[in-house]
Structure 1
Amino acid sequence: MATPEDELCFPLINNSCRKTRHSDPEASLTFTVLSTITMLTVLLNLLVIISISHYRQLHSCTNLLLLSLAISDLLVGILEMPVEILFYRGCWFLGNFVCGMYGFVSFLVISVSVGNMLMISIDRYVAICEPLFYPTKVTLKRVQVCIILCWLFSTIHAIWMSREFIQQPDIYNSCYGECVILVVNEIEAAFDLVVTFIAPIGLITVLYLRVFVVAVTQARAMRSQVTFKSMQCSRAKKSELKAARTLGVVIVMFIICSCPYYIFTLLYDSGLTDSSGAAELWLIYFNSCVNPIIYAFILQPGSSEMNIL
């Protein structure tokens, strides 16, 4: 029979947090599912990173953006998911320093992912709507600079948003053995919401709606074998249209996986490790596992020997 001490995370320490109760079958099933998602996230994103890095024919502008996104997804699988699994029972055993770093990485990967999605949308918009200017407007050097700036901005943003937790990780903890990450400054919270969700998602949606309209128009023109010399957006290659469709799925999945957490945060103002928001948080993490599966429709076997984009 369990004693009151058995329910505490640290029985020998005053003000210890209590463990979250789960039935054995539920705990085993949850641990298995979450561990499987974590391993798949790491392995699949490693495969994408190795593939793009190894094959020169995959060193295109679009694939560099996918590489950056895969790196941020890999960080989720290596750093974020395992921590959340350990936190499943409601006890934080990793200390204050890791708690502060966990908050920093959480802000970082979300900001980087949104930035990469926005750059992918811009890349597809130019490729589909302005294909004649694509080789001059979108170059490897410019894409590399944009990726570096994205990571730099995201790092600065993450440091600023998590500065309190880095300096004093237990500032919002109610008991010993807890790691609560909150943004209590309403102005900063509103700024973070606008910069990392509302503004980029709105712009991504507008760009891809335009891409979708143009792609449908071009597909109809190709089927009817009609040449539109006066079209504002010249006809793009079939490979570009295919990449646009596939990357459109990536973006739609990102929006679907992200919206519940942001809506939950707005309604309940909960922390990143709040147990009531765990499902929404894991939905964001699950998107990091889904992305490399979608990439497979672009990075197909044998693509190293042909120009796919």
Structure 2
Amino acid sequence: MNNFIDPVGGSAPFCLLEIGYSKVFTTCLLEVTVILLLTILIISGNMVVIFVFHCAPLLSQHTTSAFIQTMAYADLLVGMSCLFPSLSLLHCLQGLDPKLTCQVFGYLVSVLKSVSMMSLACVSVDRYIAITRPLTYASLVTSCRVRCCIVLIWLYSALMFLPSFLGWGKPGYHGDVVEWCALQWRTSPAFTTFIVALLYAPAALTICFTYGNIFKICRQHTREISERQHSTSTYSDKRYAMVLFRITSVFYILWLPYIIYFLLESAGIYHHPAASFLTTWLAISNSFCNCLIYSLSNAAFRKGLKRLCSFCLHCESQIIITLWFYK
């Protein structure tokens, strides 16, 4: 990371928040703390989600689980990619070309975020079909079509942000802890419009439409259940839809400040380094919130988590017994 000259003539570090610089570690301490904390939470949380899915057969019975797992893998890779800004702040990436590094990192993180967002949209469509067409759901949503859809999500996301890697515009602020990313790489109104029109807006409208209709149907079914008191399948669908709705709601709550700032800077209305840092890492924290909300809201997931914990404790006890025996 490069330094710049401050107004009083001394050498000062490049810190977006302009506070929390540690002379002992020669780094922006507050920024390093925030990024490392989120990195640890995102990686550990999504690894738990992935392991639980492999240990809980009940979760795999839902077609939606394929999209949830895709989202978990994408979020896990987001957490692993966050090691780049952490290492950059700790001066462990000296000698790399800043322009190429910023473009590659920005492209990869943007693709992963797009996969996560589009997976949420696919989840909402899957639940919409399951509730509106329960009799033909199995024939409409096959495992082959789900796999094809997941492949298309990755391909579409990779192509969507390819122009940014080729120099059309800046896709986000994830690498702005590197001075070149923050000061030299500018957003483009045309590219921002392109991203909003072909990614953010379609995903948001799809989710609003599907969940709006899902909860309208669920309210109607709830009234029927209260009258008949003999069916539970619809209630289960409602609970599962509520879990996914919470994930989606938190997603847009955390991402809304980032999108607003992205639009404002692209239009030349407002620009501030601290705002770019705070909105960016607030949005990235969604990669941890997804797995947290899912684990706390879904009974099948909690059962799978207990099974995983029991397995780990059993393995640990076996290791301890083995070591004690060989002593």
TM-score with structure 1 length normalisation?
0.77
- 1:134/1:62 CA distance change after superposition, 3 Å: same
3-state SS of the aligned residue for 2:135? coil
The amino acid that maps onto 1:163 is L
Q: CA RMSD in A?
A: 3.6
Is the partner of 1:136 in helix, strand or coil? helix
Aligned position for 1:106? 109
Give yes or no for contact 1:90–1:178 (8 Å, CA) kept in 2: no
Higher relative CO (Cα under 8 Å, sequence separation at least 6) belongs to 1
1:45–1:71 contact (8 Å) kept in structure 2: yes
Secondary structure of the residue that 1:131 maps to in structure 2?
A: coil
Q: Kindly tell me: are residues 287 and 24 of structure 1, through their superposed partners in 2, closer, same or farther at Cα, counting changes over 3 Å? A: same
Amino acid at match of 1:8: N
Structure 1: how far apart are the matches of 2:91 and 2:248? 32
CA distance in 2, matches of 1:129, 1:117: 18
**Maintained 8 Å contact 2:124/2:210:** yes
- SS class of match (2:180): coil
- In structure 2, the residue matched to 1:230 is none
2:67 is the counterpart of 1:65: yes
Deviations for 1:210-232, whole angstroms, at most 9, x for unmatched residues? 111111111121112189xxxxx
Equivalent position amino acid for 1:211 in 2: I
d(CA) in 2 for partners of 1:125 and 1:235? Answer: 18
The separation in 2 between residues aligned to 1:198 and 1:245, in whole angstroms, is 22
CA distance 1:28–1:160, shift in 2 (3 Å): closer
Distance of 2:289 and 2:252 partners within structure 1: 13
Corresponding letter in the other structure for 2:129:
V
Partners in 2 of 1:179 and 1:30 — Cα distance?
A: 16
CA distance in 2, matches of 1:208, 1:139: 21
Structure 1 residue 200 displacement after superposition = 1.5
Give the distance between the partners of 1:38 and 1:287, measured in 2 at CA.
Answer: 12
1:195 Cα deviation (Å)? 1.5
Verify the 8 A CA contact 1:17 1:91 in the aligned structure 2. no
| 2:120 and 2:248 in contact (8 A); partners too | yes
Displacement after TM superposition at 1:242 (Å):
1.3
* 2:186 aligned with 1:182: yes
Cα distance in 1 between the residues matched to 2:305 and 2:34: 32
Q: Shift of residue 89 of structure 1?
A: 9.1
Q: % of aligned pairs identical?
A: 25
The match for 2:14 is 19
What is the CA-CA distance between 1:285 and the residue it aligns to?
Answer: 0.4
> How far apart in 1 are the matches of 2:143 and 2:168?
37
Quote how far apart the aligned CAs of 1:57 are.
3.9
What runs of 5+ residues in structure 2 fail to find an aligned partner? 6-10, 23-27, 170-177, 308-327
Structure 2 partner of 1:282: 281
> Which AA in structure 2 matches 1:131?
P
The separation in 1 between residues aligned to 2:29 and 2:73, in whole angstroms, is 30
1:127 aligned counterpart, secondary structure:
helix
One-letter amino acid of the counterpart of residue 238, structure 2: L
Instruction: Output the CA distance in 1 between the equivalents of 2:198 and 2:12.
Output: 35
Q: CA deviation at 1:205?
A: 0.7
Paired residue for 1:46? 47
Query: In the alignment, which residue of structure 2 is the partner of 1:171?
Result: none
Deviation at 1:282, TM superposition (A): 0.8
Q: Residue 262 of structure 1: CA displacement?
A: 0.9
Matches of 1:55 and 1:62 in 2, distance apart? 14
Secondary structure of 1:179's match?
Answer: helix
Find the counterpart in structure 2 of residue 257 from structure 1: 254
Note the C-alpha offset of 1:115.
1.0
Q: Is the 1:108–1:154 contact (alpha carbons within 8 Å) kept by the matching residues of 2?
A: yes
Q: Deviations over 1:244-296 (max 9, x none)?
A: 00000011111111111111111122899944311111111010010001121
TM-score of the superposition, structure 2-length normalised?
0.73
Measure the CA separation in 1 of the matches of 2:52 and 2:92.
Answer: 38
Cα distance change of structure 1 residues 198 and 95 upon mapping to structure 2, 3 Å threshold: same
Aligned-partner Cα distance in 1 for 2:223–2:30? 48
Equivalent in 113, 129, 139 of residue 142 of structure 2: 139
Partner of 1:32: 33
